[in-house]
Amino acid sequence: MNDKILLAHGSGGQLAHDLIRNSFLPALDNPVLSPLDDSATFEADGKLAFTTDSYVVQPIFFPGGNIGKLSVCGTVNDLAMAGAVPRYLSLAFIIEEGLLTNDLERVINSIKETAEAAGVNIVTGDTKVVDRGCADKLFINTAGIGIVPPGVNISGHHAQPGDVIILSGTIGDHGIAVLSQREGLNFMTKLESDCAPLNGLVAEMLGISAGIRCLRDPTRGGLASTLNELAEQSGVSISIEEAKIPVREEVAGACEMLGLDPLYVANEGKLVAIVDRKDAEAILEQMQKNEYGQNAAIIGEVREKHRGRVTMKTSFGTSRIVDMLVGEPLPRIC
């Protein structure tokens, strides 16, 4: 096997077939993938969820994960945020000529491990190779299909005044971990990305309450942008309390040094839930039992006035408007 990826690995010819048979299939094989036809086929019955994301994180390896783990978690989580049970993933690589074959193998192994942990199968895929200098090592796209259980109806449009906002844990871990690696600041902290599949946590939450209205993972744009989206979609306002939002000391410190606000820093293993007030404590307790919800906290509530607005009671006791992210302080974080 070549130690670097060549243009011919994306040709549709012999080397492309060798790559599939020698690298992808041994790691990812399953009965839906193995026919290797132009499309995968499977039976379905009921309400499906369908989503896609491309991953262009730089660097492709970072503390706590890599672009492969990210590309499975991100799409699994988008499905879980619809209340769906993730089932089938597509996997498409855009590779820059010259990528080390070893690096690709490491990424594929992470994809395998993460897909197993999340209970999803990779069922179809694609590989393109572009000439050197026309991409940055490796971009990945995954699309995913999940099954929405009967009776589950989650949407960003469903928040109601009086509902309670739960955050599943600390914010900013992923963005700061990637940035530290990229900028050579990793001496500062042993912080790792929070990159994780959240479908198990969501299934447990749905198992104990029918009062979950909205779920969203605050990735690019951070918690602030996610709350603004939800407020706008539901036509409500959202009020949060700074003191209740969990932030790791290392993240707070790095943000202060770099002039960033953790509210706008990306997460890859966190979710925001907007829930019926009467079930909030029970849902919170359930979340705290899951490894990905240990630090879950109630951080605010939904209100009626000033539709689309997000406000925060600061630690000083004042109140300020929390806007959607403007500009791009942290490009290529996912």
Q: Residue 279 in 3-state DSSP? A: helix
Q: Which is nearer to a copy of itself, 263 or 296 (CB)?
A: 263
Is 5 a binding residue for a copy of itself by CB under 8 A? The answer is no
Q: Residue 298 in 3-state DSSP? A: strand
Stretch that binds a copy of itself, among 40-48, 174-182, 251-259, 282-290 (CB under 8 A): 40-48
Q: Considering only residues 17 through 36, tell me which ones interact with a copy of itself, judged by CB under 8 A.
A: 17, 35-36
Q: Which is nearer to a copy of itself, 12 or 249 (CB)?
A: 12
Q: Which is nearer to a copy of itself, 81 or 284 (CB)?
A: 81
Is 165 a binding residue for a copy of itself by CB under 8 A? The answer is no
End-to-end CA distance of the chain: 30
Residue 317 Cβ, how far from a copy of itself at the closest point, in Å?
Answer: 28
Residues linked to residue 140 through DSSP beta bridges, in sequence order: 55, 93
d(CA 251, CA 233): 30
Q: Considering only residues 93 through 112, tell me which ones interact with a copy of itself, judged by CB under 8 A.
A: 93-94
Residue 244: closest CA among 297, 196, 188: 297
- For β-strands 297-303 and 212-216, DSSP reports them as unpaired
Q: Considering only residues 52 through 81, tell me which ones interact with a copy of itself, judged by CB under 8 A.
A: 52-56, 58, 77-79, 81
Is 221 a binding residue for a copy of itself by CB under 8 A? The answer is yes
Q: Which is nearer to a copy of itself, 3 or 37 (CB)?
A: 37
Candidates 2, 22, 44, 162; binder of a copy of itself (CB under 8 A) is: 44
Residue 216: closest CA among 232, 178, 207, 208: 232
**Strand arrangement of the beta sheet that strand 237-241 belongs to:** 212-216, 272-275, 164-167, 297-303, 237-241, 310-313, 319-321
Is 210 a binding residue for a copy of itself by CB under 8 A? The answer is no
Is 282 a binding residue for a copy of itself by CB under 8 A? The answer is no
Candidates 27, 203, 282, 324; binder of a copy of itself (CB under 8 A) is: 324
Candidates 26, 102, 116, 134; binder of a copy of itself (CB under 8 A) is: 134
Contact 334, 57 (CB under 8 A): yes
d(CA 294, CA 74): 20
Is 258 a binding residue for a copy of itself by CB under 8 A? The answer is no
Residue 215 carries which DSSP code?
E
Other beta carbons less than 10 A from residue 318's beta carbon: 9
Q: Which is nearer to a copy of itself, 29 or 281 (CB)?
A: 29
Is 123 a binding residue for a copy of itself by CB under 8 A? The answer is yes
d(CA 266, CA 238): 20
Q: Which is nearer to a copy of itself, 184 or 327 (CB)?
A: 327
Candidates 266, 280, 287, 302; binder of a copy of itself (CB under 8 A) is: 266
